[in-house]
Structure 1
Amino acid sequence: MNTPIALSIEDLSFSYGKKKALDRINFRIQPGECTLLLGPNGAGKSTLFSLITRLYDSRGGNIELCGFNIKRQTRKALAKLGVVFQQTTLDMDLSVMQNLRYHTALHGMGRKQSMLRIQEELERLNMFNRRFEKIRQLNGGHRRRVEIARALLHKPSLLLLDEPTVGLDVPSRQDIVDHVHRLAAEENMAVLWASHLIDEVYPDDHVIVLDKGRIKANGTVNEVLQLTGTSTIKDAFNKLTQGAQA
């Protein structure tokens, strides 16, 4: 039996009044594929993520998560999704463990299974020894690790990351980038990562360049470089977006 496509976006459009934020975009992400979504401010990245997570309701087009239609089979579709938003959504006055236990309860996981999954994910991120600390006691990098651990507790098929390394120091940022790429490879998990940092793109990644609501490039790093006749993703991005700031 073939594994279903992790994420399928077909002919997706969205407007804010008369302003078109997304204009008939199409792409697919396969299991185990790490896809970097690059685009300048106002390109439509946040709108796309809001549609995938059902914060917004799309009027035109189709979204499927692991074969489940996001509108008709919302619960089954979203159960396949793990999300790390740009702004933290952790409760600052609760401990790491309390934040994670609340998430497992929302997914209907029993106490024994919850504790095993929490320990597993925190250990992978070198955070298990800090499980009883309150979130406000942690620095930005450690808070991000907790959010990534939380997003993975129910073993999603697709991990959605919205600018997860914004404001982090270079070592913390690199640790998270490396960890997510390892997850994609080792767990056969699909990743859609919105970023404005070109150095977060790895050579084996898939790249989507979004500008003014339209996809300007969609392919492997090498395919995007060939399309633009450039030697680096930074140069390719600048050429596709006429030098706009990511």
Structure 2
Amino acid sequence: MRVTITLLAAIFFTAVSYAQVAHNNLFTVGIGAGLIGGLYDGNYPYSSLKQHGNFGLGAPDKLDGELVVFQGRIYQTQHSGKTFPVDDRQLTPFAMVNFFKADKKIAINSALNKEGLLHLLDSVLTNVNGMYAIHISGKFNYIKTRAFPPVKAHDHTPLAAMLPLQHFFEFNNVQGDLIGYRLPSFMDNTNISGYHFHFLAAQKDAGGHIIDVKAENITIEIDVLDSYTVHVPPSRDFEQFDFKKNRAEDIKSVERGDKKQ
């Protein structure tokens, strides 16, 4: 009887420990530098991605837009601007997710441009080497997003070379959510360091990668993460990819949506 109780206790505490890790863990499919360098072919199903998080962002198979994971559902914004829930059987080449649980919540009732918003976040996220999931909801005076067009299978054109092909979308006085992260420099190349946000409109009919934002009457929720896991793609293209090349400037250009230094 004592053995049974001990075994059950061990199983219980293992389950609790796993749940705590899962809620503080960033799960990444693929390598950020790989996506930037042209690894666009999907390799990981959305149905499996949902097992590792209910909040996050990523890229669709062979691009054609941007992904956002919000409240356990995955949405794709295509290069046409069309936004819709994805089929769970489809694949992603790169995505990052976590089970979002806010550790801190802040209400902002003043107008902020993108620079002001990031400065505010920097003042709150004091651990420069910390990993943070960030949810910003409310009213936005202005939002500009982008989405890349689709490519053919095994087309490895670097993403920075596709910047002229971006499609941009602008929204005024829109309600919605910013889903994103601030990740430290030591995660660069494996992931994408700094701030990275995708947008999803309240009606779930518009979105994309954030290029510019002006916010008003927003709520900021912060989830502090303490570990990360990387799923390495099981593909020949990945096995032969050159990760020695420095893609830091390409990453910055793709994040901003332009080639400016």
Structure richer in helix, relative to its length? 1
The structure where strand makes up a greater share of residues is: 2
The reply to whether TM is greater than 0.5 is: no
TM range (shorter): under 0.3
The TM-score, its normalising length taken from structure 2, stands at: 0.26
